[in-house]
């Protein structure tokens, strides 16, 4: 099985937030995790915004280790077209729509792990099983 993971779920591995332990549990439940390449930008931006010093360096290093084990989905023309259509159908914000387009590359039978309520709602509208939110 494969689970699509968005930035909100991954970020909980590095920043102690509500539902961090639930995110860890869900991330550990599937040995094959995938995400869109833009997740790299989203997570690194948030790590630099939320953490500092050694804590930031440790989290950034752990993220680099993790991202190397994830299947990364390119934001190619097909993915962007799927994202645009998802945005039109659901009203999803741009970065969320890119997650939806990337997840659709795997098929709607793949669960989508997110703690972003709006993304979860949009994913449900498109037929995804949503974990987390």
Q: Chain-wide mean pLDDT for the chain?
A: 96
By C-alpha distance, which of 118, 106, 126, 80 is closest to 5?
106
DSSP secondary structure string, 10-79? HHTTTS--TTHHHHHHHHHT-S-EEEETHHHHHHHHHHHHH--HHHHHHHHHHHHHHHTTSEEEP--HHH
Query: Looking at residue 108, what is its pLDDT?
Result: 80
CATH number of the structural domain spanning residue 105: 3.40.50.1010
Evaluate whether 36 touches 102 at the Cβ level (below 8 Å): yes
Query: Looking at residue 1, what is its pLDDT?
Result: 76
Expressed as residue numbers, the domain containing 117 is 3-132
Kindly report, residue by residue over 76-126, the tens digit of the pLDDT. Answer: 999 999 999 999 999 999 999 999 999 999 988 999 999 999 999 999 999
Q: How many domains does the chain have?
A: 1
């Amino acid at each position: 099985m494969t689970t699509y993971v968005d930035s909100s779920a991954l970020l909980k591995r590095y920043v102690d937030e509500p539902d961090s332990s639930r995110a860890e549990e869900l991330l550990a439940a599937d040995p094959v995790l995938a995400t869109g390449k833009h997740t790299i930008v989203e997570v690194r931006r948030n790590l630099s915004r939320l953490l500092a010093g050694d804590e930031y360096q440790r989290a950034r290093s752990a993220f680099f280790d993790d991202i190397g084990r994830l299947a990364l989905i390119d934001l190619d023309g097909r993915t962007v077209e799927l994202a645009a259509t998802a945005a039109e159908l659901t009203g999803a914000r741009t970065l969320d729509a890119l997650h939806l387009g990337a997840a659709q590359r795997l098929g709607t039978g793949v669960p989508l792990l997110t703690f972003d309520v709006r993304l979860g709602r949009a994913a449900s509208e498109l037929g995804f099983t949503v974990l987390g939110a």
